[in-house]
Amino acid sequence: MNRSPDEWEIRIERIQDEVGFRALRHCWNQLLQESTANTMFLTWEWLYAWFKHLREDRELLILRLSHGEETVGLLPMAVRPHILDNFLGVRVVGFLGMGKAGADYLDVIIRRGWEEHALAALDKFAEENTSLVLRLAQIKRDSFAFRWAARLEHQGWRVSRAKTNVCPFIRLSGHSWQSFLATLGSEHRYNVRRKLRNLSKSFDVQFERVTSEPQCREALSLLITLHNRRWEGLSDAFHTSRLVSFHEEFTQLALARDWLRLFVLRLDGKPAASLYGINYNGVFYFYQSGFDPDYGNHSVGLVTMALAIKAAIEEGAEEYDLLHGDERYKFHWAQELREIDELVVYRPRVAGTFYQVAIQFSRGSRRLARRVLPKTLADAITAAIRALDGLERLKACKMVKARSLSNALSKATELLQQGGVKNLLIHGLEKICSPLLRLGTIYFFVRELDENLPEPKAPTGLTLRPASVVDLPVLAAAWGDDEHTIEKLHDRFRRGDFCFIALDPNNRAIHSRWATFRRANIPDLGMDLILGPGEAFAYDSYTVPEFRGRRIDAAVRCFAFSWLRANGIIRACTFVRGDNPASLRAVRRWQQPAGTFRYIKLRGFKPWVMGKPASCLPALIPAEESKRSPRTSQL
C-alpha cells in the first residue's frame, strides 16, 4: 500500500545540549539496529562518552529526523569553531567521534525504508544552511553519508574526496579455529602454531576475559600501562587524562551491555599482554593492545592476537575488524580491507573554496612533516606536543635525549647534502601543494653492460636468481600492498618483463627488482622512454625493511646486470625521484647520470618539463594514451 506524501513527511529537530543528548538514549540504539549503519562507533554509549570527555570546544549539533512521534533518523554532528569562521562566514560541522579516540565507519543513522525521504529532508536542511561546510570523515564508500554527498554534488555543491585510511578485516563466518589458520600464509601459520606451542611449554598460560566492574577497572589500567611500556610514550592512544577518562567510562558502559572483550594474557600468573576489543552486532572490533617488553622474545603480542581471534570464532563472530591503519602485522592476519574516506562538502563560493584549500594545506603540511622530518626528530616533536597535557611534560623531557637529537641532526644533514636547501624547499613545497600542484625532480642513470662487471656474489645464506610465475605468492607477500598483488605482478610476466630476487633460507623474497625491454612510461613527466635494441629499463626495486643496509640491493643489482648482459643487453637505464636519497646513493655507485628533469604539473593539465637528457639516454617522447604501457615505478 502506497503512502501519501504527508504520510512520509519528516521534521528535523536540532539537539544542541547534553540533556537532549542523554534523552535520546532510549531510542538511539534501537534505531541504529534498524539501519544499515549498525557499528560500534555509532552506538549511543560510544558517542555520548566521546562527547562528554573529548569534545574540547565543539558545540553539539544532532539532527533528529522524525515522522510524527517516531524517530526515523539521527545525524550526530558537532560544530567546531575556527578562527577563520567569522572571517569566511562559514560554520564547519563534522561527525561526532571524529579525531581523538579513532572512530571508524561514522555515518548518518536512518531507519531502513526511510532513506529516500531522509535524503529529501536533509537536502532541504542543506539548502536552508548554505553557510555550512560539512566534514564527513571516517566514512565507507557505501555509507549513507557518501550517498548524500554525491546527491548534494549533483545539486551544485562541491565535494572534495580524500582517501584517508584502510581497515583490514577477516571474514570469520563458517570458520573453526583450524580452518581459519589454514587461510593464513604458510610462514605465518607456522609461526602462530609454534609460538602457541612453545609458550605453553614454558609457562602456565592463562587468557582471561574481564567480566566484572572491578576487573574492568584493573584490566584497563593494566592495558594502558603495558601499551605505554611497549611504545615508550610514542603512542597517542592513551596519552591524555581525557582519553583515559573516556575509556574508563565507555568500557563500563560496554561491559554492562556485554560488548566489552578486554583480555589479559598471564604467564605463570604474571600479566604479559592485554587486548581491548568490542564484540558488537556480530563483529569483533580490535581496538588496542599492549604487552610487557620483557616478554617480547616470546611474541606475546602475536599470541594475544591469535587467542582473541580464536575467542571471536568460538563466540560466533562473523568478522574480526582490525580497524584503521595499514600496519604490516595486520596483513599477516587479514586478506581484505575497506577504504575509509573523508569528504568535504561546501557551496561553490569563495568562502567554502578557501576553507577547502585550507584543509588541503593542512593535510599537505602533515604529510610534509612526516616525509621531510627525520623519524627521531618527528617523534621528539610529537612527544613535545603531547607534553602540553600536565604530567606528560616529564615524559617528553625524558624522550629528548642527546643521542636522539644527535641522530636527528645527522639525518637532517644527510638529507640536505643530497640536494641542499633548495632541494629540500622544493620537496616541501611539492608536498604542501600536492592537492592542486605537483613539482619534483627525476634523475636518469645508465650502465653500459659491455664494461667489466663485478662477479655476482650472494650474501651468506641468500639465493639470487631470476623469478618466475611460481614465485608470485612470495613476491606479493614481500610487498604486501594493493599495487603488488599476485594478479598485478602476473600481468608483468605476461607482458614479458623480468624479475630478479633474493631469497632467504626460508624461501622468503627479501629483495626484488624488475626489468623490461619495452616502452616504459615515466608518469611524473607524462613521457615514454623508447628502448632500442639491446636496451633494458630497470624499475620497482624493493628490499624488505629488516634486511636493508646489508648490501643486498647491490648484490641483486650486480646479478641482474650480469644476467641481462648474458642475454644480449648492452645498456641498462633507470630513474630515481629526487625525494628518495637512499636510492640516489645506491644507484650512483653503479650507474652514470644520464639527465636531470624538473617538472611542474597543475591538476588537470599536462606536466611542464625542464631538462636535457644525456646522449646515452634512450629517446623520451610524450606519452600516447593509446600506446602507454602500465605505470612504472622508480628503481
pLDDT given for residue 608 in this prediction: 87
Residues 331-339: what's their mean pLDDT? Answer: 93
Is pLDDT of 57 > 70?
yes
pLDDT given for residue 50 in this prediction: 97
Residues 84-97: what's their mean pLDDT? Answer: 73
pLDDT given for residue 429 in this prediction: 59
371 secondary structure, DSSP code: H
621 grid coordinates:
617522447
Could you read off the pLDDT of 516-532 as tens digits, one per residue? 998 888 988 989 999 98
Could you read off the pLDDT of 569-596 as tens digits, one per residue? 999 999 998 878 778 888 888 888 999 9
Residue 431 phi/psi, 5-degree rounding, is -70, -40
Is pLDDT of 456 > 90?
no
Most confident of 174-183, 432-441, 548-557, 610-619: 174-183
Residue 402 phi/psi, 5-degree rounding, is -60, -40
Amino acid type, 104:
D
| Gap between the Cα atoms of 35 and 111, Å rounded | 5
Could you read off the pLDDT of 344-355 as tens digits, one per residue? 998 875 444 555
Q: From the CB of residue 419, how many other CB atoms can be counted at a distance below 10 Å?
A: 18
- Higher-confidence residue of 387 and 196: namely 196
**Domains by residue range for the chain, with CATH:** 7-164+340-346 (3.40.630.30), 173-317 (3.40.630.30), 373-433 (no CATH), 438-622 (3.40.630.30)
Could you read off the pLDDT of 212-239 as tens digits, one per residue? 999 999 999 999 999 998 887 677 889 8
Name the band, by pLDDT with cuts 50, 70 and 90, for residue 5.
Answer: very low
Q: How far is CA 509 from the centre of its chain?
A: 24
pLDDT given for residue 418 in this prediction: 47
pLDDT given for residue 7 in this prediction: 55
Is pLDDT of 374 > 60?
no
Is pLDDT of 376 > 50?
no
Which residues face 610 on adjacent strands? 598
Residues 63-85: what's their mean pLDDT? Answer: 86
Most confident of 6-20, 75-89, 404-418: 6-20
Is pLDDT of 21 > 80?
yes
pLDDT given for residue 628 in this prediction: 38
Name the band, by pLDDT with cuts 50, 70 and 90, for residue 85.
Answer: low
pLDDT given for residue 355 in this prediction: 52
Run of H or E including 321: strand 319-321
48 grid coordinates:
555520548
Name the band, by pLDDT with cuts 50, 70 and 90, for residue 397.
Answer: very low
Q: From the CB of residue 124, how many other CB atoms can be counted at a distance below 10 Å?
A: 12
Pick from 142, 61, 129, 54: nearest CA to 98: 54
Name the band, by pLDDT with cuts 50, 70 and 90, for residue 88.
Answer: low
Name the band, by pLDDT with cuts 50, 70 and 90, for residue 433.
Answer: low
Q: Across the chain, what does the average pLDDT equal?
A: 84
580 secondary structure, DSSP code: -
In this prediction, what percent of the chain has a pLDDT beyond 90? 53
Cα within 13 Å of Cα(214), Cβ side: 0
Determine contact, residues 338/169, Cβ cutoff 8 Å: yes
The answer for residues whose C-beta is within 8 angstroms of residue 70's C-beta and 6 or more apart is: none
In this prediction, what percent of the chain has a pLDDT beyond 70? 81
453 secondary structure, DSSP code: -
Residues 75-84: what's their mean pLDDT? Answer: 79
Which residues face 309 on adjacent strands? none
pLDDT given for residue 210 in this prediction: 97
413 grid coordinates:
644533514
- Higher-confidence residue of 455 and 49: namely 49
pLDDT given for residue 140 in this prediction: 96
Pick from 104, 109, 172, 169: nearest CA to 140: 104
Is pLDDT of 631 > 70?
no
Residues 407-418: what's their mean pLDDT? Answer: 49
Determine contact, residues 202/192, Cβ cutoff 8 Å: no
Alpha-helical (H) ranges within 128-185 are 144-154, 177-181
- Higher-confidence residue of 622 and 292: namely 292
| Gap between the Cα atoms of 192 and 306, Å rounded | 7
